[in-house]
Amino acid sequence: MFKILVATDGSPHSKKVVRDAATIAAPLRAEVMVLTVEDWTAVDRDSGAKSKDALDQAVAAFQKSDINVVPLLRKGTKRPADVIVEVANEFDVGLIILGSRGLRGIQEMFLGSVSHRVVHLAEKNVMIVK
C-alpha cells in the first residue's frame, strides 16, 4: 500500500496542504499518516492543546474523504523538519507532503524553513504545497 506522510501545524496554509493531499491520496487508496510536531521551542502552556487540535482537524478532513488515516503527534527536542524526516523513514512512506510556510516571523528566522530543511534531509519524495 502506498503511504503518504502529511505534516501539518494548524496554520491556515496547512488546510490547503490537507486538501491537496486528500486529492492525491483518494484515487491511490493510499494510507495517510498525518503528523503534527509539537513546537519544541514553545513557552505557551497551550501549545500541546493547539497541536492536538491541529491534528484532530486534519484527521477529520481525511476521514470525510474516506481515506485511511493514522494520526501522529510527536513531541521532543528536535526541529520539526528532523522529526518529519524521521517519521517518513520509520513508516517507509512514498511521499511527504507539507506546506511552503507555517511558522512566521522571528521563529522562522531562528528555526529556518521547515520545508526547505525537509527537502534537503529527506531520502523520500517531497511535495511542497504553495
Number of H-type helices and E-type strands within the chain:
5, 5
> How many domains would you assign to the chain?
1
| Per-residue pLDDT at 40 | 67
Task: Count Cα neighbours of 49 within 13 Å in the Cβ-side half-sphere.
Answer: 4
104 CB burial (10 A radius; 0-12, 13-18, 19+): exposed
Q: What is the pLDDT along the chain (130 residues), one digit of tens a residue?
A: 899 999 998 888 889 999 999 999 999 999 999 999 987 666 566 667 888 898 999 999 999 989 999 999 998 678 889 999 999 999 999 999 999 865 444 444 444 488 889 999 999 999 999 8
Q: Is 89 helix (H, G, I), strand (E, B) or coil?
A: helix
Instruction: Tell if the pTM clears 0.85, that is, is over it.
Output: yes
| Per-residue pLDDT at 43 | 57
Could you tell me the residue range of the domain that residue 114 belongs to? 3-129
The Cα–Cα gap between 116 and 71 comes to 24
Do the Cβ atoms of 33 and 6 come closer than 8 Å?
Answer: yes
Q: Distance from CA of residue 117 to its chain's centroid?
A: 13
Output the domain CATH number for residue 86: 3.40.50.620
